[in-house]
Amino acid sequence: MSVISALRNETTSWYEASARQRIDALVDRGSLTEFVGPAARETSPHLAIFGLPTQLDDGIVVGEAALDGRAVLVAAQEGRFMGGAFGEVHGAKLVGLLRAARATRRDVLICFDTGGVRLQEANAGELAIAEIIRALVLARLAGVQVVGLIGGRAGCYGGGGLIAACCSTLIVTEQGRISVTGPEVIETNKGVEEFDSKDRAFVWRTMGGKHRYLIGGADRLVADSAAAFRAAAIGALSSPTVLDAGTLDAEQARLERRLARFGTAEDATEIWSALGIDPVDDLPALDESSFLARAGGKRESADGAR
Amino acid sequence: MELDDILASLFPAGHEVRVAHGRIAGHGVLRDGRRIHVVGLADGIALGVEDAASLAAQVLAIARQTDAAPILMPIDSSSQRMSRRDELLGLNEYLAHLAKSLLLAEQAGHRTIGLLYGGSAAGAFIATALATGTLVALPGAHPEVMDLPSMARVTKLSLDVLREKAKATPVFAPGLDNLARTGAVHATWDPAQPLTAQLEALLAEPAGDDARDLLGQQRQGRPKAAAIAARVVHEATRGG
């Protein structure tokens, strides 16, 4: 890697970057070959019904590249187009990539940035997520690593949260929110007393990357830079995990233990205290290194159990 | 159809299936004596962290058995449980774990068949019915990604506009027919005929790969998905 690209990676905020900028800064410089790219003009056939504009790549980049010299497949969702949501074409590109991963035994990097299913093509998006999960799990059962990277504006919501939890390894920033039902939808259905979507601090400590890292919902917490994601992704691929019956038995035990330990907690801070972290009130404000130092040895980990 | 009638029609030779707290568990026997595991959701339950963990434990216990007996998953649920507590505890991991468990059991030789006889929605639909190898439905089943009033709020379109658009395209509107057209539902069974014969006929078909995108293409509910996925596979595997 040249000095210029190293500098570029160091200063590229993952949160602020576009999908294409993220991939460019993540993989070895200039190594991306895109599949069914913008020139193919495979746009959504459904958005016109709603009078909405299409995008030439339908909000996702998929292709092959090199990561530290290793051949990988890569995908990145564009959170600034339709909230990175899964539509028919968008989803089908990721389905194809994961089917190819199984066939060619190449590891996969998925940069999530999504609100979940694209409601204007809800049935196609929902089914695409089911197809993605099936293709992802079959690839993992064949020995492929699938690494998820989460730190974009849209977070990783809805079916995106389910796909993420099927990955071998999850790398997050503190901005990387992961959940199934989004704050607004819980508030709309259950009331503001159940979930105040306007309370940003509450949303982030309930669904944000630090909390997910502490309970074992994510594996590596990194700073908001492309360089940090790149280093963590290289690290993840160099320590492969398996998916088999033993893995899921271990995950079953891990998730049951979580219910037993934290099932009565009313707030994330109670869970952090129960983990033995002290103090907890300033955890959300800590930078990555201070946070990791305080959480060290106390968090729940998902090693070999995801 | 009510669950009791469904089970009686599926297993005239007898079954031991219990329903408690919206969770279905047990087994039934086909006419030729073959055993079928039954794991599912009833009473329109919202799928929360405990339910998902409980279902996954049952599925994993079956996956460990070497009898290669199929798993039938009857489903009448609502969506995932929408609450602060479920999200705080990482509901996405519980739902994904359930889906992974179903896929593992299938790979271990237990065919998985979803039987949608009531509702299902959103993430709960993905983690159960849509994670089975073959999904069939009974008339009256009412799957949806999101109900139209919620969809109206999110898309900022009026209910009337959405209802009008729903007539023109099946791609976003709730309902069994619309989801079937995308390829999500393999077949809708005839409740006037014995379900046991329809299950036996399905089990006689080879399981095969995931062909839901091709089905959606044939049924004109998903015009592009199959071709796009195939094209990505082609470009990724051509070498060079």
CB nearest A124 (choices: B87, B155, B171): B171
* Beta-ladder partners of B37: B27, B71
**Could you give all domains of chain A from N- to C-terminal order, each with its CATH number?**
3-178+218-243 (3.90.226.10)
State the residue for tokens 């690290």: A235
DSSP state letter for B65: -
B167 has a pLDDT exceeding 90? no
Closest Cα in chain B, distance from residue A71 (Å) = 12
Of the listed ranges A199-203, B90-94, B155-159, B183-187, the least confidently predicted one is B155-159
Q: Cβ contacts (< 8 Å) between B228 and chain A: which residues?
A: 36, 42, 88-89, 92-93, 96
Beta-sheet pairing, A70-77 with B119-121: unpaired
Among A138, A152, A140, smallest CA distance to A85 is for: A152
Of B123, B182, B223, which is closest to A159 when you measure between CB atoms?
Answer: B123
What is the spatial distance between Cα B10 and Cα B200, in angstroms, rounded to a whole number?
Answer: 9
> Would you state the pLDDT for residue B148?
82
Instruction: Identify the three-state secondary structure at position A290.
Output: helix
A90 Cβ contact partners less than 8 Å away, ≥ 6 residues apart: A44, A58, A59, A60, A77, A118, A125, A128
pLDDT at A283 over 70: yes
Residues B17-25 have a mean pLDDT of 97
The order of strands in the sheet holding B23-29 is B15-20, B23-29, B35-47, B71-80, B112-116, B134-137, B187-188
Question: Cα(A124)–Cα(A163) distance, rounded to whole angstroms?
Answer: 16
Inter-chain CB proximity A165 and B93 less than 8 Å = yes
Distance CA B174, CA B176 (A): 7
- A259 contacts in chain B (CB < 8 Å): 49-50, 53, 89
Contacts of B13 (CB under 8 A, 6+ apart): B28, B29, B30, B31, B33
A252 min Cα distance to partner chain B (Å): 7
- pLDDT above 90 as % of chain A: 93
Beta-strand relationship, A220-221 and A60-67: unpaired
pLDDT tens across A84-98, in order? 999 999 999 999 999
* pLDDT score of A166: 98
What interface predicted TM-score (ipTM) does this complex get?
0.98
Pairing verdict, β B134-137 and B119-121: unpaired
Query: pLDDT class for B155, splitting at 50, 70, 90?
Result: confident
Interface A–B counts its CB contacts (< 8 A) at: 273
Contact flag B53-A259 (C-beta cutoff 8 Å):
yes
Query: Band of the pLDDT at A255, cuts 50, 70, 90?
Result: very high
Q: Residue A137's closest chain B neighbor by CA? A: B100
The percentage of residues in chain B with a pLDDT greater than 70, rounded to a whole number, is 99
Mean pLDDT for chain B overall: 95
Question: Among all chains, which residue has been given the structure tokens 């990194």?
Answer: A222
pLDDT tens digits, residue range B109-121?
A: 999 999 999 999 9
Q: B44's torsion region: left (phi>0), alpha (psi -120 to 50) or beta?
A: left
CB-based contact A35 B125, cutoff 8 Å: no
- CB interface of A with B, residues 222-261, below 8 Å: 243-245, 248-249, 251-252, 255-256, 258-259
- Residue A1's pLDDT band, with cuts at 50, 70 and 90, is very low
Residue ranges in B89-192 assigned as alpha helix (H):
91-107, 122-127, 148-155, 159-168, 176-182
CB A82 within 8 A of CB A114: no
pLDDT digits (tens, 9 = 90+) for B28-75: 999 999 999 999 999 999 999 999 999 999 999 999 999 999 999 999
Sorted by where each starts, the structural domains of chain B and their CATH numbers stand as: 3-138+189-208 (3.90.226.10)
B238 phi and psi angles, rounded to 5 deg: -75, -15
